[in-house]
């Protein structure tokens, strides 16, 4: 039976973070050139929230209590992709950030060339990790589908495409329909990897096609809420709690929810999204008890301060 107290959720988060961190350290332990691996480890092993990995493991566990082990390599691969996107996002050609996770950004420590290449290597290591470390009990056709969906979530249909649109509408350039474009940017740039996180966890644990769709829908809505929270934190947060520089969106004149709708409407949108995400979860047909960690992660995504 899955327990429901606040303490249990904290225990779930702490124990799963430890598990993910230990496996990430193992996957990145050795390799040459040494400077490349140092740069990869610097970003991947720095203290992130690991919310994408937690979502993947919680979705797996919602379907089958022991399946978090099967999903673990995938959860680690997701964190590798996420870390690489942060490294590239912080480069001078993109957001040009100096602080990430409370430390100097990768290129500030290793230089732009190594930072770029560490990101490239992490992208490929993520795919290799899924191909080589998902247990052999999982049908190979499912592993191929997982790799294919991760490539789509990361590439032009997902994160990269969203980032390109984000750049196109930064600096005060406005699309004809601001809200539609902004939703599309958020869903692709941030939402696609979070959607993949819940979908892949449930899929590797043996979810039915209908359940897979509802876990994906839950992740997509949570991803949008996560990014709107990020937009809000850029205005209301401090460098100390965020571990990165606040105020960058306004400074760059970025298209964000807060810029278009203001703080109050953005907060109201979060309330709507929370309700929508809960509806998607209920449609999975999984018992409320088994969904408790996913519900807590939804609240964490919306109420976070970092």
The tokens for 248 are: 């960058």
Question: Does residue number 227 form part of the binding site for ligand GRG (CB under 6 A)?
Answer: yes
Closest contact distance (angstroms) between CB of 193 and ligand GRG is 8
97 neighbors 89 (Cβ within 8 angstroms): yes
The tokens for 85 are: 């996107």
The residues in 29-48 that bind ligand GRG, with binding defined as CB under 6 A, are 48
Question: Does residue number 230 form part of the binding site for ligand GRG (CB under 6 A)?
Answer: yes
| Closest residue to ligand GRG: CB criterion | 48
Question: Does residue number 159 form part of the binding site for ligand GRG (CB under 6 A)?
Answer: yes
Q: Which residues pair with 104 in a beta bridge?
A: 99
Question: Does residue number 229 form part of the binding site for ligand GRG (CB under 6 A)?
Answer: no
Distance CA 118, CA 201 (A): 26
24 neighbors 74 (Cβ within 8 angstroms): no
Closest contact distance (angstroms) between CB of 43 and ligand GRG is 10
Stretch binding ligand GRG (CB under 6 A), from 25-33, 157-165, 265-273, 275-283: 157-165
Distance CA 190, CA 185 (A): 8
Q: Which residues of 216-236 are buried (b: 16+ CB within 10 A; e: fewer)?
A: bbbbbbbbbbbbbbbbbbbbe
Question: Does residue number 188 form part of the binding site for ligand GRG (CB under 6 A)?
Answer: no
Question: Does residue number 138 form part of the binding site for ligand GRG (CB under 6 A)?
Answer: no
Distance CA 207, CA 246 (A): 40
Closest contact distance (angstroms) between CB of 139 and ligand GRG is 27
Q: Looking at 17, 68, 188, 189, which residue binds ligand GRG (CB under 6 A)? A: 189
The residues in 57-116 that bind ligand GRG, with binding defined as CB under 6 A, are 82, 85-86, 88-89, 94, 101
Q: Which is nearer to ligand GRG, 28 or 51 (CB)?
A: 51
Question: Does residue number 154 form part of the binding site for ligand GRG (CB under 6 A)?
Answer: yes
Stretch binding ligand GRG (CB under 6 A), from 32-40, 66-74, 158-166, 195-203: 158-166
Q: Which is nearer to ligand GRG, 64 or 128 (CB)?
A: 128
Closest contact distance (angstroms) between CB of 194 and ligand GRG is 9
Find all residues with CB under 8 Å of 195, minimum gap 6, and list them: 153, 216, 219, 220, 223
Q: Which is nearer to ligand GRG, 129 or 154 (CB)?
A: 154
Kindly state the DSSP code that residue 262 receives in the 8-state scheme: H
253 neighbors 244 (Cβ within 8 angstroms): no
Closest contact distance (angstroms) between CB of 266 and ligand GRG is 15
Q: Looking at 45, 151, 160, 235, which residue binds ligand GRG (CB under 6 A)? A: 160
Query: What does 80-106 look like in DSSP terms, one character per residue?
Result: HHHHHHHHHHHSTTTT--SEETTEE-H
Distance CA 277, CA 300 (A): 13
* Bond into 175 cis (ω within 30): no
Question: Does residue number 295 form part of the binding site for ligand GRG (CB under 6 A)?
Answer: no
Q: Which is nearer to ligand GRG, 3 or 164 (CB)?
A: 164
Question: Does residue number 123 form part of the binding site for ligand GRG (CB under 6 A)?
Answer: yes
Query: Diameter of the chain by CA atoms?
Result: 52
Q: Which residues bind ligand GRG (CB under 6 A)?
A: 48-49, 51, 82, 85-86, 88-89, 94, 101, 123, 154, 159-160, 163, 189-190, 227, 230
């Amino acid at each position: 039976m899955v327990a429901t107290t606040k303490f249990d959720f904290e225990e779930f988060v702490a124990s799963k973070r430890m598990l993910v961190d230990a496996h990430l350290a193992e996957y990145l332990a050795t390799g040459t050139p040494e400077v490349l691996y140092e740069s990869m480890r610097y970003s991947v092993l720095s203290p992130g929230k690991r919310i994408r990995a937690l979502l993947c493991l919680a979705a797996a566990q919602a379907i089958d209590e022991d399946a978090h082990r099967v999903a673990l390599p995938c959860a680690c691969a997701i964190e590798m992709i996420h870390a690489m996107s942060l490294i590239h996002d912080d480069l001078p050609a993109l957001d040009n950030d100096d602080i990430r996770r409370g430390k100097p950004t990768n290129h500030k420590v290793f230089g732009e060339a190594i930072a770029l290449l560490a990101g490239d290597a992490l992208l490929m290591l993520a795919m290799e990790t899924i191909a080589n470390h998902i247990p052999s009990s999982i049908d190979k056709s499912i592993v191929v589908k997982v790799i294919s969906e991760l490539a789509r979530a990361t590439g032009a249909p997902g994160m990269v495409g969203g980032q390109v649109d984000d750049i196109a509408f930064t600096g005060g350039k406005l699309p004809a329909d601001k809200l539609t474009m902004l939703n599309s940017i958020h869903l692709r740039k941030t939402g696609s990897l979070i959607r993949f996180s819940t979908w892949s966890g449930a899929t590797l644990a043996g979810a039915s096609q209908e359940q897979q769709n509802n876990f994906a829908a839950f992740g997509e809505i949570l991803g949008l809420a996560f990014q709107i929270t990020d937009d809000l934190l850029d205005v209301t947060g401090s460098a100390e709690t965020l571990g990165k520089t606040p105020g960058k969106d306004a400074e760059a004149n970025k298209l964000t929810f807060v810029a278009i709708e203001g703080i109050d409407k953005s907060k109201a949108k979060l309330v709507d999204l929370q309700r929508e995400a809960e509806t998607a979860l209920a449609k999975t047909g999984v018992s409320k008890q088994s969904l408790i960690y996913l519900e807590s992660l939804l609240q964490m995504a919306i109420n976070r301060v970092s």
